[in-house]
Amino acid sequence: MNREELRVSKVICQKLVDHGAEAVVVFGSRARGDAYIESDFDIHAVGKGPHYRLELCQGFLVSVSWATSRQNLSYFRKPADVGWVVQGWRNAVVLHDPKGVAKALKQRAQKWRWESLGKLVDKWVAEELTGYAEEVHRLVGNLRLGRKHPAAVQRSVLAIRMAPILAAHHRILYDTENQLWDIVSERMGGEWAQLQRVALGEDDHCFDDVCKSALRLFTLTANEIRSLLDDRQYQVVANACEIAGQPLPYNKQHNVSKST
């Protein structure tokens, strides 16, 4: 961090220490050194305090999160969080750590491997995608009824939420969500990257094409992870793909008919 960033961080750190923080670290762009003018200070306090809050400090936006040591350790076991938690701790800048609490968490992050989660990741990926089948139903239904506002919401959800699922599926770590969609695009290749650009509204396309691209992102994700789905999940996801106009290839491993 530069001198100004370090000065502001120390001011925030002292406030948190005065409120009982055992350790204080900086995450994100200020820790990595690639912050831009509008970047916030992502400060984490180890201890008991409000889970998350935003405040202004000397003209800078500051996001402050609190978690106990036990809570921090639990995040290393959660597929939904671990993608950014591990990399965040690896890159964290320690501001206050008299008992070595933050040092221990950084060491845990450095040693952490995807294998430590066993089948938890695959189970989370399968159930997470299955849950978004409902968004497919809503999007297709609202398009048929000409309801653009709710359709736009469902399209946005699908366009945004497929990347985190695929990041976990491909065991990708990322320090910031600003990188996530680009990283997944690189991993998935040309068709995915193009569809994601359209679904997120980056290119000049009509509303129907934007929505169709979001639906296609769902079906591509389903095809990518279909071997992880149990029979119930496969039926739900395959039905959603059918509704989206992109049938999911039949898997012999699933105890369902091809017409499902």
List the single range of 101-105, 189-193, 217-221 with lowest mean pLDDT.
Answer: 189-193
Of 78, 96, 115, the residue that ends a domain is: 115
The domain boundary residue, chosen from 92, 115, 138: 115
Please report the pLDDT score of residue 251 as a whole number. Answer: 63
pLDDT at site 254? 64
| Identity of the amino acid at 83 | G
Whether residues 92 and 131 share a domain: the answer is: no
Question: Above 60 in pLDDT, residue 257?
Answer: no
What contacts 26, CB < 8 A, 6 or more positions away? 1, 9, 41, 42, 43, 44, 92, 93, 95
Average confidence (pLDDT) over 97-122:
96
- Tell the burial category of 27 from Cβ atoms under 10 Å away from its Cβ (0-12, 13-18, 19+): buried
Q: For residue 179, give its domain range.
A: 120-243
Q: Which residues contact 175 (CB under 8 A, 6 or more apart)?
A: 27, 28, 32, 84, 87, 88, 90, 91
CATH code, domain with 28: 3.30.460.10
> pLDDT tens digits, residue range 138-177?
999 999 999 999 999 999 999 999 999 999 999 999 888 7
Whether residues 130 and 28 fall in one domain:
no
pLDDT value of position 253: 66
**For position 255, what pLDDT does the model report?**
61
pLDDT of amino acid 260:
44
pLDDT at 77: 95
pLDDT digits (tens, 9 = 90+) for 28-74: 888 888 878 888 889 999 999 888 899 998 888 999 999 999 999 99
- CA-CA distance, 240 to 130, in Å (whole number)? 9
- Whole-angstrom Cα distance, residue 180 to residue 23? 28
Task: Please compute the mean of the pLDDT values over residues 79-96 and round it to a whole number.
Answer: 93
Q: Please check whether residue 91 lies inside any domain of the structure.
A: yes
Boundary (domain end) residue, out of 115, 143, 166: 115
As a whole number, the mean pLDDT across the chain is: 91
Q: In the chain, which ranges are continuous DSSP H helix?
A: 3-18, 28-32, 69-75, 79-91, 101-111, 120-131, 133-144, 148-169, 177-188, 190-199, 207-225, 231-243
Buried b (16+ CB within 10 A) or exposed e, 187-222: ebeeebbebbbbbbeeeeeeeeebbbbbbbbbbbbb
* In a domain? residue 46: yes
What percent of the chain is predicted at pLDDT more than 70?
A: 96
**Percentage of the chain surpassing pLDDT 90?**
77
Neighbouring CB atoms inside 10 A of 35's CB total 17
pTM confidence score: 0.89
pLDDT digits (tens, 9 = 90+) for 195-242: 999 999 988 899 999 999 999 999 999 999 999 999 999 999 999 999
Q: Domain check: are 210 and 142 in the same one?
A: yes
